[in-house]
Structure 1
């Protein structure tokens, strides 16, 4: 029976299995999304109970070759506290994207490292960093799984972008010039800056800094462009966590 030991991981979702156990959806660095059963995790005396929390970096050991493996050990490795408030809801949003966009047992080490960095930003408690961190995660995630086109040219014609022209990001169509039917768009200069930041040596830092420096109207326009692409590939009109945020804001 295969045994994976001391694997970096996060719990991205869990649900009840029997009266005392949990089924976990975990995101591991070397093995991607892995489904585990944590036997006895709901018991008050279980060592798993205080450890299996979302948005917390773990080191796990599990065994098995079936679709659902068995969790043998889990330890909190520290590094940051649990995000709170808007940061916590944003973390759940990241988890929903992972569940919808990544297949099980498909390694994405780069996305794992990105996720860990963004969760650290969310845990810092600075509200001004949440929006840039989410846009950075969306961009780099979409690029890693092959859903983001090159942002320095129109996708169908490969015509270089003009800095002073509006362009829109279309699912299955890539970047194209803005027309009268489009609600929003971004200037070519912004798409070109994003292209450069995504291809920088430290893509996370460069893209996070750029998204933080964008004026609010351009940041909102970028959010709308990425939302359409994400909803298309997730197969939904509204993500559950986004609807939850909308409902809470309405209260």
Structure 2
């Protein structure tokens, strides 16, 4: 277990309780330091300055890795380059699986991009934090990643939890315009501008009412396993319709990780 050196006590002389967190993004600040986007369960997304983290002998070099759960302690706030940051006083590994690679790495980057784009700083989302941790555990499961539908279902489940926690996902148990109950045997659309509605033609890629009802039940129960299982019932239909909701919510026509996936697929197709 690696920890940073502490730089003194907190105000009043007592050490603050460590925060649970993940590093979402890093960028260079100086020749020896890093600026971190850290997502904590207790405080939400914060910007932290990791002084000396790039030095060869820094104990933080092996700790400040993406997709690994950390215990972190933050110091007082300060202005750096016109932005408010907090000094990273200590960080230690709090457990986690192997580093993500391949398709799992792209999936993890997709989760991080949603959080960076969609969550305001200093706005805690503890339930979503736990869902993120559970989704990462699913992504490092080699058996799950070998199952294309299972991996897709894990991503769709997180996207749904993210939209629901952000307050933009409509109630999936009823039609948005009329509040009539969703019928299990009917096909439905999930639209950014109209919410849940019935399909307009036989060619619409609708989602069955049974899947929507199962998703709504799992969201209300905060049951990630059941949510992933429900998403497995319509992974492709959910993918296309959730993409439109995410783009509308985040104010973008394409996420960076999605563009990267498209470019990689084009390279693979070219080499065949």
Normalised to the residue count of structure 1, the TM-score between the two structures is 0.92
Task: Name the SS for the 1:146 alignment partner.
Answer: coil
Q: Is the 8 A contact 2:231 2:238 kept in 1?
A: no
1:175 match: 196
CA distance in 1, matches of 2:213, 2:32: 53
CA distance in 1, matches of 2:22, 2:253: 27
CA distance in 1, matches of 2:225, 2:96: 19
1:210 match: 230
Q: Is the 8 A contact 1:83 1:125 kept in 2?
A: no
Deviations 1:186-231 (A, max 9, x none): 122221222222223x52111112223x2xxx31011111111001
Q: Is the 8 A contact 2:131 2:224 kept in 1?
A: yes
Matched, 1:155 2:176: yes
Identify which range, 177-186 or 88-97, moves more after superposition.
177-186
Matched, 1:166 2:182: no
CA distance in 2, matches of 1:211, 1:166: 15
Find 2:257's aligned residue among 231, 241, 248. 241
Task: Name the SS for the 1:64 alignment partner.
Answer: strand
- The structure that has the greater radius of gyration is 2
Structure 1 gap segments, 5+ residues each = none
Task: State how many pairs are aligned.
Answer: 246
**Two-structure CA RMSD over aligned residues (Å):** 1.8
Task: Name the SS for the 1:55 alignment partner.
Answer: coil
Matched, 1:231 2:247: yes
Task: Name the SS for the 2:18 alignment partner.
Answer: strand
1:219 match: 235
1:4 positional shift: 4.5
1:173 positional shift: 2.4
Structure 2 gap segments, 5+ residues each = 1-9, 79-83, 268-272
Q: Is the 8 A contact 2:77 2:87 kept in 1?
A: no
CA distance in 1, matches of 2:258, 2:202: 25
CA distance in 1, matches of 2:230, 2:210: 12
Task: Name the SS for the 2:101 alignment partner.
Answer: coil
Matched, 1:89 2:106: yes
Q: Is the 8 A contact 1:84 1:125 kept in 2?
A: no
Identify which range, 166-175 or 179-188, moves more after superposition.
179-188
1:133 match: 154
1:98 match: 115
Structure 1 pair 241–58 and aligned structure 2 pair: CA distance change class (3 A): same
CA distance in 1, matches of 2:187, 2:20: 42
Identify which range, 221-230 or 127-136, moves more after superposition.
127-136
Q: Is the 8 A contact 2:211 2:231 kept in 1?
A: no
1:237 positional shift: 1.0
1:178 positional shift: 1.8
Task: Name the SS for the 1:169 alignment partner.
Answer: strand
2:94 match: 77
Normalised to the residue count of structure 2, the TM-score between the two structures is 0.85
